[in-house]
Amino acid sequence: MSTNTTEALPATTLLRFATAGSVDDGKSTLVGRLLHDSKSVLADQLEAVERASASRGQDAPDLALLTDGLRAEREQGITIDVAYRYFATPRRRFILADTPGHVQYTRNMVTGASTAELTVVLVDARNGVVEQTRRHAAIAALLRVPHVVLAVNKMDLAGYGEKVFAAIAEEFTAYATELGVPEVTAIPISALAGDNVVEPSANMDWYGGPTVLEHLETVPVSHDLAHCHARLPVQYVIRPQTAEHPDYRGYAGQIAAGSFRVGEEVTVLPSGRTTRISGIDVLGDPVDVAWTTQSVTLLLQDDIDVSRGDLIVPTKDAPATTQDVEATVCHVADAPLTVGHRVLLKHGTRTVKAIVKDIPSRLTLNDLSLHPHPGQLAANDIGRVKIRTAEPLPVDSYADSRRTGSFILIDPSDGTTLTAGMVGESFASPDPVKDQPEEDGWDF
Amino acid sequence: MTTVAKAEEGTGSPYALSHLDALESEAVHIFREVAGEFENPVILFSGGKDSILMLHLALKAFAPAAVPFSLLHVDTGHNFPEVLQYRDRVVAAHGLRLHVASVQDYIDRGVLKERPDGTRNPLQTLPLTEKIQSERFDAVFGGGRRDEEKARAKERVFSLRDEFSQWDPRRQRPELWNLYNGRHAPGEHVRVFPLSNWTELDVWQYIAREGIELPEIYFAHEREVFRRSGMWLTAGEWGGAKDGERVEKRQVRYRTVGDMSCTGAVDSDATTLDAVIAEIAASRLTERGATRADDKLSEAAMEDRKREGYF
């Protein structure tokens, strides 16, 4: 490297986060404000927004227009899909999954939260914690998003009152903690006026915490790997078979969790064969140790049969394999998921045939009530399913590993992604959900 | 022995990847996933910086073996000569197979008509889609980034296209975690965007970090240009200055490389990668807004063209 770019623009870390909230809460305005005040909106984008705002007779540029992409959405004034936004500060690069908060778009929120390290839940200070807020908290808890920010918006319309904010923060934190959310940071803001989004608010000197952007810049993005089970789903076998590399066999994949070290004893699942790591290659650099989420190539001591779909794990920390998967799922397709449905299940790099054996319950996110034996799950429904797979799978519990504890169900006939699944128990806390038979259902 | 990732100061963890390492790792994961799940993938390669970056990442993903994909260039017939030379050099250096879909052929055969404004970018769709059908490509890598334009902000990494290459926003599949769904029916294909999460600045920083060679036109140089629709254009076979448009010699560089008729240069004295990066970091115009006439058409222009099978 002959450049000194790294001095001018230091390499920073990357934070993926998601927003949950509705247009009414001012979500688009918050996102627009983050982009605008962090100087991520460029002149031509701003001009386009100013033109569009003026053509609609608005007198100030509507920052929400920065983020409404598709024509259908502009016409209806709603957000119907996950949109990804990019911005950076000198301290960090951000990828924002911007999702609509309405009940019929639960699947989009689940999608956005699936890759997020942090979720911003937005509430209107005048309304406080409402059903939708509880739903957003539940999704963050279900998807095990490590950090949750409660942004209490429209503080300007609530007289910038500390008591208003404190009551909402307390109620939300109690609820989220009950669901097992490990960390809640509550911030009083006005997205419209700009209080505590990027700049500290002069109107709320009683608040001593960080602005939304400061918090986003400083929240930790990596985990203590000591407590993670190391996992490498094999994507591809690299065999050059050239004069220079006649015997090279490398197992390529992205480390899904934990770390691997040269010399370590590993087991290849599902075959169960054991060998040692003889080398690790991180995109051209030989290393002693590599960790999540690096894309690597592992070299193994013994010439054993390893192929795409296998999982390489430490011998001393291997998951059990099973053909019976119990999971919490979010159904993301328009047609319902029913008992007896024949599907494909993609877990890591492996896709197997499977059948939906049972749907024990459907979960209502608003009040966390359980409805037994719903018979099917419709679009945006969350529920428990039991799945039988055609081959044994080495699954982890989603609580232990978001990448090796998750799967998707696919329709074998047309390839539609049907369902997003999380293996194991729904919530981190013992049992926040309560059985509640549906009024028109059978009460066994 | 080296370790690649550098911990960021202040996070307290030695295991935080830098943003470039994280983006690189993700893109490599995408390339390998396609290699594992598709029969006949191809990389769209124009000789522009995004396609050069894609090829660099693909080379890294499969080293020390060869890249298991061929390349496809949709040639508008109005390419910068420097870019074509670069393209041919790279293809030869890595022993790759290059397919060319030629807009000129379609015009010569009378299938496509030249537009009055001389712009050929919108004419690329048919040669591209017919080449995908005739060669039976089932995965097509594009260098599109979600930060480029509002309609792209919702694009998936794996984007399903029907046999007419059409993009239907309602048929796009949710993408969860890093579990990409590449299933498709015969005749359908999947467009794959490994650079989805990169910004223009990320691309340049990475090119600098890796020491990737680019065509010279990305750096400041003297060239004869004329002003049209607020852009500096270069005369060529596609046409040139009309009455009232004055040709002048200026020091310029290109931020994107496309069809000569609608790719504008910007005034610049950035002759090195570092200077280019500093200029972009300070720029107040996004990449396309400054240099692409065709994206200025309307608020919904890109969305409409994506539906037709444009990249």
Helix axes B19-37, B49-62, angle to 10 degrees: 70
Contacts of B140 (CB under 8 A, 6+ apart): B41, B42, B44, B72, B132, B189, B190, B191, B192
Which residues lie below 8 Å from residue B150, measured CB to CB, with a gap of 6+? A67, A68, A69, B302
Q: Which residues, listed in sequence order, are joined to residue A195 by a DSSP beta bridge?
A: A190, A199
* Structure tokens belonging to residue A174: 């109690």
Cross-chain residue pair B13–A349, CB shorter than 8 Å: no
- Would you place residue A426 in the very low, low, confident or very high pLDDT band (cuts 50, 70, 90)? confident
A352 in contact with B, Cβ within 8 Å: no
Identical fold, A226-317 and A321-423: yes
Q: How many residues does chain B have?
A: 311
Between B15 and A114, name the one with better pLDDT.
Answer: A114
pTM (predicted TM-score) = 0.90
**Cβ neighbours around B84 below 10 Å, total:** 15
Q: Which chain B residue has its CA at the smallest distance from A93's CA?
A: B19
Residues A83, A69: Cα–Cα separation, whole Å? 8
Cβ separation B4–A6 shorter than 8 A:
no
Classify domain A14-222 by CATH number: 3.40.50.300
Does the CB of A263 have a partner CB in chain B at under 8 Å?
Answer: no
Residue A330 tokens read as 């979010």
Q: Which residue has the higher pLDDT, A432 or A274?
A: A274
Kindly list the domain boundaries of chain A, sorted by start residue: 14-222, 226-317, 321-423
Interchain proximity B177–A115, CB inside 8 Å: yes
Q: In what helix (H) or strand (E) does residue A125 lie, and over which residues does it extend?
A: none
Residues in chain A closer than 8 A to B183 (CB atoms): 344, 410, 414-415
DSSP B178-227: TB------TT-EEEE-TTTT--HHHHHHHHHHHT----GGGS-EEEEEEE
A13 closest CB neighbour out of B18, B179, B278? B18
Pick the residue with more confidence: A223 or A69?
A223
Domains and CATH numbers, chain B: 19-201+300-308 (3.40.50.620), 216-296 (no CATH)
Q: Using CA atoms in the order B127, B128, B129, B132, what is the torsion angle rounded to 10 degrees?
A: 120
* Alpha helix stretches (DSSP H) within A179-280: 212-218
Q: Which CATH number fits domain A321-423: 1.10.10.10, 2.40.30.10, 2.40.340.10, 2.60.120.10?
A: 2.40.30.10
Q: What is the pLDDT of residue A336?
A: 97
Residue A254 half-sphere exposure toward CB, CA atoms < 13 A = 24
- The per-residue pLDDT for range B104-139, each reduced to its tens digit, is 999 999 999 988 877 788 888 899 999 999 999 999
Is B7 a residue whose pLDDT tops 60?
no
Q: What is the CA radius of gyration of chain B?
A: 20
Query: CATH code for A226-317?
Result: 2.40.30.10
Looking at residue B298, what is its pLDDT? Answer: 45
**CA B299 – CA A59 distance, rounded (Å):** 20
CB spacing of B28 vs A254 below 8 angstroms: yes
Is pLDDT at A234 greater than 70 in this prediction?
Answer: yes
Q: Is A339 on the interface with B (CB under 8 A)?
A: no
For A304-313, the pLDDT digits (tens) are 999 999 999 9
**Average of per-residue pLDDT values in chain A:** 87
Residue predicted with more confidence, A201 or A28: A201
Q: What integer pLDDT is reported at residue B286 of this predicted model?
A: 58
**A11-23: burial string, b at 16+ Cβ within 10 Å, e else:** bbbbbbbbbbbbb
Cβ contact (<8 Å) for B32 and A252?
yes
Whether pLDDT at A430 is above 60: no
Q: How confident is the model at residue A427 (pLDDT cuts 50, 70, 90)?
A: confident
Contact A3 B13 (CB under 8 A): no
Mean pLDDT on B271-291? 73
Contact present, A400 and B173 (Cβ < 8 Å): no
Report the percent of chain B where pLDDT is more than 90. 53
The answer to whether A322 contacts chain B (CB < 8 Å) is: no
Chain B residue numbers touching A242 (CB-CB < 8 A) = 64-65
The pLDDT value given to residue A45: 67
Interface of A with B in 130-169 (CB under 8 A): none
- pLDDT tens figures, B171-224: 789 999 999 999 998 889 999 999 999 998 899 999 999 999 999 999 999 999
pLDDT in tens, A376-412: 999 999 999 999 999 999 999 999 999 999 999 999 9
What is the tens place of the pLDDT at every residue in B53-110? 999 999 999 999 999 999 999 998 888 888 899 999 999 999 999 999 999 999 999 9
SS3 content of chain B, % helix, strand, coil (to 5): 35, 15, 45
Residue A40 touches chain B, beta carbons under 8 Å: no
Phi-psi region of A343 (alpha: psi -120 to 50; beta: other; left: phi over 0): beta
pLDDT (average), residues A258-269 = 96
The string of pLDDT tens digits covering residues A121-176 is 999 999 999 988 999 999 999 999 999 999 999 999 999 999 999 999 999 999 99
More confident residue, A106 or B6: A106
